[in-house]
Structure 1
Amino acid sequence: MTIRSCRDGEQAEICAIINAAAEKYRGVIPPDCFHDPYMTRDALAADIARGVVFSGWEEHGKLAGVMGLQIVRGQPLIRHAYVPPALQGKGIGSALLQFLIGQCPGTILVGTWADATWAIRFYERHGFKLTGRDETVRLLHEFWTVSDRQVETSVVLTRP
């Protein structure tokens, strides 16, 4: 079991992990915000082109979790943190998050859906704090490229 940089050619695996884990959002986040598939290969390629660098937890030669890091105007953002449902609760997400935190001096931001309470609790267990509504809106507009609808239905957490 190792954490490593994801490689070119692993986009299909990354999408499969994201889409399997994102099923948890179905029926929780607003229906107009859930796409099927949740992450297309084109959308993943666009995020990678915008600087999202993925790290993965490799187990038995196969990716078993992924998490992205993107630096936007000097600000580190955790992006697309997913572990397949069958492997959740085994410390993979925590290990990936701690690995990325170790690469980022200073404040780190993460955005997630406001109704994804399990995700919010996960980040809070790792020292992240919810920002207030006005700060969330400001940060989402400043560091993310998301729709107004996603801004309405999202939160941002910060870790000093």
Structure 2
Amino acid sequence: MQIHRAEENDWPEIAEIFLAARRTMTYLNAGLHSDAETRAFIRRMVKRSEVWTALHADGKIIGFAALAREADGNWLHHLYVDPASHNAGAGSLLLAITKKEMPQGFSLWTFQANLGARRFYERHGLTETRRTRGTNNEEGLPDILYEWRP
């Protein structure tokens, strides 16, 4: 498996991973955005953000991480792995590149209901710093702020 910086034309594969991963999150409101709206969002994200991809030996993208350096700090906005490729190390490699690219630390949000993500982040040294009822996310779901500080 290899990690590469995404190119603009990688967005369709990245969008399909995002859609597939979100479909497994049964606690989400499935009707919030259409697949077309989600693909447009991912296309913009890949164009405007620092996105890293995990590639299988055959060259297929199996995961991605979207990083952002913002006025309020460094953020890992998205880290998704194709559900068919879970537990193969892609998520760990993507988190490692995030730590390398943001050595001073970063923050991320995840849903409280996303137990797998919570275990993953905690196993990799991120610390829960705050919980909310979800009033500031469009899904309206309770969430958790995690931080990684070296």
Superposition TM-score tier, normalisation by shorter sequence = 0.7 to 0.9
Matched, 1:153 2:136: no
Name the structure 2 match of 1:57: 54
8 Å CA contact 1:19–1:38 kept in 2: the answer is: no
Q: CA deviation at 1:153?
A: 2.1
Q: Bigger CA drift: 31-40 or 64-73? A: 31-40
**CA 1:88/1:2 → structure 2, altered by over 3 Å: closer, same or farther?**
same
8 Å CA contact 2:107–2:147 kept in 1: the answer is: yes
Which consecutive unaligned segments of at least 5 residues does structure 2 have? none
**CA 1:21/1:123 → structure 2, altered by over 3 Å: closer, same or farther?**
same
Q: CA deviation at 1:70?
A: 0.9
Q: CA deviation at 1:133?
A: 3.2
The alignment's TM-score, normalised by the length of structure 2, stands at 0.84
8 Å CA contact 2:8–2:46 kept in 1: the answer is: no
TM-align CA RMSD: 2.6
How high is the sequence identity, in percent, across the aligned residues?
A: 24
Q: CA deviation at 1:45?
A: 3.1
Give the 5 Å matches for 1:23-102.
Answer: 23-26=23-26, 28-29=27-28, 31=29, 35-37=33-35, 40-48=38-46, 51-59=48-56, 60-73=58-71, 75-102=73-100
Q: CA deviation at 1:34?
A: 5.2
AA aligned to 1:70 is A
The alignment's TM-score, normalised by the length of structure 1, stands at 0.79
Q: CA deviation at 1:156?
A: 0.9
Question: Tell me, what secondary structure is at the counterpart of 1:155?
Answer: strand
Name the structure 1 match of 2:17: 17
More helix by share: 1
